Amino acid sequence: MSLVSIIIPAFDAGRFINRALNGVLSQTHAGWELIVVEDGTHDDTEALVRAFAARVTQSVRYENNGTNLGVSAARNRAMALATGETIAFLDADDWWTPEHLSSGLETLERGAGFCFSGFHIFDEPSQTVMESLTPGLPPGGDVVESLFKSNFIQTSSLVMLSRKAALNGGNFDTKLKVGEDCDYWMRVLAHGATPACTQKQTCYYTKHGASAMAKTLMVAEHGVKFYRKHLQSDFLQKSLRGSLYARSLWIYGRLLQRQNPALARSLFLEAWRTRPMELRYLAYALAAAGLMLLRRDSSVP
């Protein structure tokens, strides 16, 4: 029986993780090991994982990073401890239906190196399923470029991959706080892993409500870092790299335009230098410069 290493990074996960663990316990494929790496928090996650370990015969391993290093570091540590032929990712607030592992293994055994499932979007505040989706591969298109344009794999909990594919992909990038999963999937696929969808909705993906402005700014800032990283990625079209990088700069600049017009101006100018034919970026830079002048004049007594 193929051994699947289930990877769970955990951060303040005590209120959710029992749901994820019960989903693991329900799997029809019983050949798994579980590795939970807590990212520096100290709630009741450890006690819950150890209680779960006492209920099962499969190997369960728990570690704590000791300090908050980020989800990428937690996943990297868990993957370093994994011994299975297959890696399955599970976020602590998501959970699986009983056939998730078996359907993923069937898909991988048909020749894929990387597979993902369909999913249900679960709204945590209302405790209801909002929508059920099965993402598909782009017809006749480049999967890596499709992911780069828009990450259609909405949660890592959908993904299973072979150990070979995981090794070829390397580690999750600990410098990225947004898009670190998409960045990793792209590298796995760029190194030759064949992608496939199980065509089965076997994951519940938890949504936690609207984001605050501070989080929106963080997402925009790290979106810029994600696209800047891939400016030199030769497995992507050069024009696409530049276009999406410039767009990320523009999005971040628009969010900052009122509170920090000087920084917004520099972001708009960088977007224009990257895509000089996109004159709207220059127009936004000029508007930000005008706002800076107005503020300077209004501050003069």
DSSP state at residue 117: E
| CATH number reported for the structural domain that contains residue 64 in this entry | 3.90.550.10
pLDDT at 300: 41
Domain identity same for 129 and 83: yes
pLDDT of residue 210: 47
Q: Which residues of 238-265 are buried (b: 16+ CB within 10 A; e: fewer)?
A: eeebbbbbbbbbbbbbebbbeeebeebb
Residues 166 and 238 in one domain: no
One domain, residues 265 and 295: yes
Domain count of the fold of the chain: 2
Residues 196 and 231 both lie in one domain: no
Gap between the Cα atoms of 132 and 229, Å rounded = 32
pLDDT (0 to 100) of residue 170 = 94
pLDDT at residue 157, as a whole number: 98
* DSSP three-state, residue 9: strand
Per-residue pLDDT, 137: 86
How far from the centroid of its chain's Cα atoms is residue 24's Cα?
21
Quick one: 116 and 245 in the same domain? no
Q: Which domain holds residue 263?
A: 213-299
Per-residue pLDDT at 212:
47
Do 255 and 166 share a structural domain?
no
The residue out of 185, 207, 229 marking a domain boundary is 207
Beta strand 60-64 with 32-38 is parallel
Q: Whole-model pTM above 0.75?
A: yes
From first to last of the 301 residues of the chain, give the pLDDT tens digit.
689 999 999 999 999 999 999 999 999 999 999 999 999 999 999 999 999 999 999 999 999 999 999 999 999 999 999 999 999 999 999 999 999 999 999 999 999 999 999 999 998 888 999 999 998 888 777 899 999 998 999 999 999 999 999 999 999 999 998 899 999 999 999 999 999 999 999 999 998 864 445 578 888 999 999 999 999 999 999 999 999 999 999 999 999 998 899 999 999 999 999 999 999 999 999 998 887 776 665 554 5
Provide the greatest CA pair distance for the chain: 79
170 and 282 belong to one structural domain: no
Task: Say whether both 192 and 271 belong to one domain.
Answer: no
Look at residue 142 in the predicted model and tell me its pLDDT. Answer: 87
Q: Are strands 195-207 and 95-96 parallel, antiparallel or unpaired?
A: antiparallel
